[in-house]
């Protein structure tokens, strides 16, 4: 292995040469306490920054193994170290003068949620830390400015590395707090399963966010206080006793006037599938990790999904003796009701045990048919079986609970197990009074058949074009869109996808599956399970198929992987 002295000599030799001479820097260099690897060099100063990885051996890092010996604690510590390193490089007061991205120094930006990221990983067996960063190699025009790069690599970066990735340089109390919070959050998640709950919201949680585009807590927000009837208390390993609202399995309705906090509570439950950092206000808002937000999604493609649980007996198409087959429904432009039906079935396929639904973003004809409509348009004229007629069976037959925000229809009062009214951001248990009021408005039930369990036997085949094109480019455009060359996968309505690095990871996963896993033999569930196993064994960056550490990826949930694949118009089933 080369040494840091070798690197300094190479830099001296290429100073003021043409920019491509930077390619000669590729390789590993021993810096004494760590190894620096220049993995990928940008083609010119205006291109994406160069990729550099840093290996800090456990002997140098020195973090006690108890801080990373389980997955949830390791992810929390990796997240914390990433934040510390980013803070260090942001204090960097030297800025290289030059063209394009000269002098840029970056690592993944972490928001309020704690995600598994490729930019910082701790080997659970050895304790070694591998960090990936981006550096804009400085240039004047397209002429190398090696003096400026030397300042970054030899003066500034070593200080940042030692302050961020060496345990002795940290305040041990802060590291301990990260560890303790991760253990407490995991304890609550385990207790949800043991106590028959699907969510927990601690008292004094701050649910409202600063603005519609900020995930930071709102100042002077009303603290959450659980209704007495729904209060549960856990004794956490570190925090001690904590009390809050436990949402039981089954059907829970959230009602209330506009702007009283219904959607705010639901949004907190949506993101409760992730752990949050201290100070977020939602540290102890914990939701079943398989929960899926369901909404209508006009215009999405649906590829041979069995939506017959909700839609049947479609009218005949012109020139045909029968309507579309809803046990293997296909469309490139789904309606609101059809898309929502597909979203429910696909969530079941992805292993969801909790559905989160807001009436405001749902197709009305998918959710309910009122009495007058039932009288005017008879059952044999309506192919849609509304969600209200399936919601109970989803729980009793499939074990899938529902939390539903409703503001206009009281029909769900009849079937809800629990009804929570949000009143000026304070939840109240109004189950008894709402049920009593509902008794004066008997629910007219249409006759309907109990549905068969949906079929999930969809076996994707490789797309010949994608398999052929080995230079296929993947790009994430924000959080909402994956670009595959010139084709797009629209993820705008995946509301639990929270980071553009998750979106980029989904793009790489889709490309990897097309090239290596889609074979027409494995069904979609088997494909995604194999994909997740590969990531667990070989790391998240493996699916990028780059020959260097791809440091800008974050792991999405299984549910979002399914959702991405299902929205890929090129899916060949």
Supply 332's token pair. 């490139």
pLDDT at 37 over 70: yes
The model's pTM = 0.95
- What is the distance between the alpha carbons of residues 210 and 414, in angstroms, rounded to a whole number? 36
Please write the tens of the pLDDT for every residue from 447-457.
Answer: 567 888 999 99
Per the domain annotation, does 419 fall within a domain? yes
81 and 108 inside one domain: yes
96 and 144 inside one domain: yes
438 and 526 inside one domain: no
Alpha helices in 499-541 (DSSP H): 500-512, 524-538
Average pLDDT of the residues of the chain: 92
Q: How many domains does the chain have?
A: 3
CB–CB of 493/358 below 8 Å?
no
Reported confidence tier of residue 255, pLDDT bands at 50, 70, 90: very high
CB–CB of 203/225 below 8 Å?
yes
- What is the distance between the alpha carbons of residues 451 and 461, in angstroms, rounded to a whole number? 29
Per the domain annotation, does 572 fall within a domain? no
CA 108, distance to chain mean position in Å, is 15
Which pLDDT does position 294 carry in this prediction? 98
477 and 562 inside one domain: yes
Per the domain annotation, does 41 fall within a domain? yes
Which pLDDT does position 318 carry in this prediction? 63
Q: Compute the half-sphere exposure of residue 195: CA atoms within 13 Å on the CB side of its CA.
A: 20
Please write the tens of the pLDDT for every residue from 286-334.
Answer: 999 999 999 999 999 999 999 999 998 777 666 554 557 899 999 999 9
For residue 240, give every residue at least 6 positions away whose Cβ sits within 8 Å of its Cβ, in sequence order, or none. Answer: none
Sign, Cα dihedral of 466, 471, 477, 478 = positive
475 and 410 inside one domain: no
Q: Give the per-residue SS3 of 377-422.
A: CCHHHCCECCHHHCHHHHHHHHCCEEEEECCCCCHHHHCCCEEEEE
157 and 194 inside one domain: no
The range of the structural domain enclosing residue 507 comes to: 464-567
Q: Which of 234-243, 267-276, 323-332 is predicted least confidently? A: 323-332
CB–CB of 132/551 below 8 Å?
yes
The three-point CA angle 482-483-484 to 5° equals: 115
CB 382: neighbour CB atoms within 10 A?
Answer: 17
Please write the tens of the pLDDT for every residue from 386-444.
Answer: 999 999 999 999 999 999 999 888 889 999 999 999 999 999 999 999 999 998 888 76
Per the domain annotation, does 179 fall within a domain? no
Reported confidence tier of residue 484, pLDDT bands at 50, 70, 90: confident
CB–CB of 510/568 below 8 Å?
yes
Picking from 239, 209, 245, 210, the residue whose alpha carbon sits closest to that of residue 225 is 245
Please write the tens of the pLDDT for every residue from 5-23.
Answer: 999 999 999 999 999 999 9
CB–CB of 49/104 below 8 Å?
yes
pLDDT at 371 over 80: no
The three-point CA angle 542-546-550 to 5° equals: 70
Last residue in a domain, options 420, 454, 488: 454
159 and 89 inside one domain: yes
415 and 550 inside one domain: no
233 and 324 inside one domain: yes
pLDDT at 88 over 80: yes
* 379 or 171: which leads in pLDDT: 171
Per the domain annotation, does 29 fall within a domain? yes
311 and 226 inside one domain: yes
Mean pLDDT of 182-187: 98
- What is the distance between the alpha carbons of residues 406 and 411, in angstroms, rounded to a whole number? 10
106 and 200 inside one domain: no
pLDDT at 565 over 60: yes
pLDDT at 285 over 60: yes
25 and 113 inside one domain: yes
Per the domain annotation, does 177 fall within a domain? no
Q: Compute the half-sphere exposure of residue 409: CA atoms within 13 Å on the CB side of its CA.
A: 21
Reported confidence tier of residue 378, pLDDT bands at 50, 70, 90: low
- What is the distance between the alpha carbons of residues 66 and 71, in angstroms, rounded to a whole number? 11
């Amino acid at each position: 292995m080369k040494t840091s002295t070798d690197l300094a000599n190479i830099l001296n030799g290429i100073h003021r040469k043409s920019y491509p001479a930077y390619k000669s820097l590729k390789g590993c260099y021993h810096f004494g306490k760590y190894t620096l690897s220049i993995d990928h060099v940008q083609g010119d100063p205006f291109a994406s920054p160069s990729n550099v990885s840093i290996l800090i051996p456990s002997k140098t890092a020195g973090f006690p193994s108890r801080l990373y010996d389980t997955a949830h604690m390791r992810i929390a510590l990796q997240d914390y170290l990433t934040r510390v390193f980013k803070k260090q490089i942001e204090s960097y007061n030297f800025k290289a003068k030059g063209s394009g991205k000269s002098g840029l120094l970056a690592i993944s930006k972490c928001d309020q949620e704690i995600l598994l990221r490729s930019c910082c990983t701790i080997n659970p067996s050895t304790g070694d830390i591998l960090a990936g960063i981006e550096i804009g190699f400085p240039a004047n025009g397209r002429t190398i400015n090696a003096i400026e790069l030397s300042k970054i690599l030899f003066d500034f970066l070593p200080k940042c590395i030692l302050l961020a990735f060496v345990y002795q340089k940290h305040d041990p109390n802060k590291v301990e707090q990260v560890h303790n919070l991760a253990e407490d959050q995991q304890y609550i998640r385990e207790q949800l399963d043991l106590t028959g709950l699907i969510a927990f919201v601690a008292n004094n949680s701050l649910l409202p966010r600063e603005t519609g585009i900020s995930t930071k807590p709102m100042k002077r927000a009303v603290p959450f206080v659980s209704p007495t009837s729904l209060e549960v208390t856990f004794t956490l390993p570190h925090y001690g006793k904590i009390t809050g609202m436990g949402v039981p399995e089954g059907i829970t309705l959230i009602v209330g006037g506009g702007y009283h906090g219904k959607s705010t509570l639901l949004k907190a439950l949506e993101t409760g599938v992730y752990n949050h950092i201290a100070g977020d206000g939602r540290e102890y808002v914990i939701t079943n990790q398989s929960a899926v937000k369901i909404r209508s999604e006009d215009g999405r493609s649906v590829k041979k999904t069995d939506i017959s649980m909700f839609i049947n007996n479609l009218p005949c198409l012109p020139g045909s003796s029968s309507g579309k087959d809803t046990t293997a429904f296909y469309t490139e432009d789904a309606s609101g009701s059809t898309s929502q039906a597909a979203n429910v079935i696909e969530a079941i396929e992805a292993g969801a045990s909790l559905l989160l639904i807001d009436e405001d973003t749902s197709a009305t004809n998918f959710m309910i048919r009122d009495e007058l409509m039932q009288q005017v348009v008879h059952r044999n004229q309506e192919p849609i079986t509304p969600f209200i007629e399936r919601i109970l069976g989803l729980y009793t037959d499939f074990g899938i609970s529902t939390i539903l925000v409703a503001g206009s229809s009281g029909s769900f009062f009849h079937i809800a197990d629990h009804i929570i009214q949000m009143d000026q951001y304070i939840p109240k248990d109004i189950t008894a009074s709402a049920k009593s009021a509902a008794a004066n408005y008997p629910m007219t039930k249409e006759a309907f058949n109990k549905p068969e369990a949906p079929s999930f036997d969809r076996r994707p085949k490789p797309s010949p074009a994608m398999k052929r094109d080995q230079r296929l480019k993947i790009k994430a455009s924000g959080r909402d869109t994956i670009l595959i060359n010139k084709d797009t996968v629209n993820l705008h309505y995946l509301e639990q996808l929270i980071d553009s690095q998750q979106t980029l990871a989904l793009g790489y996963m889709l490309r990897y599956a097309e090239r290596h896993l889609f074979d027409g033999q494995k069904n979609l569930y088997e494909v995604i399970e194999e994909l997740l196993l590969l990531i667990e064994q070989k790391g998240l960056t493996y699916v990028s198929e780059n020959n260097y550490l791809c440091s800008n990826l974050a792991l999405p949930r299984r549910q979002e992987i399914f959702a991405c694949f299902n929205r890929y118009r090129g899916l060949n089933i």
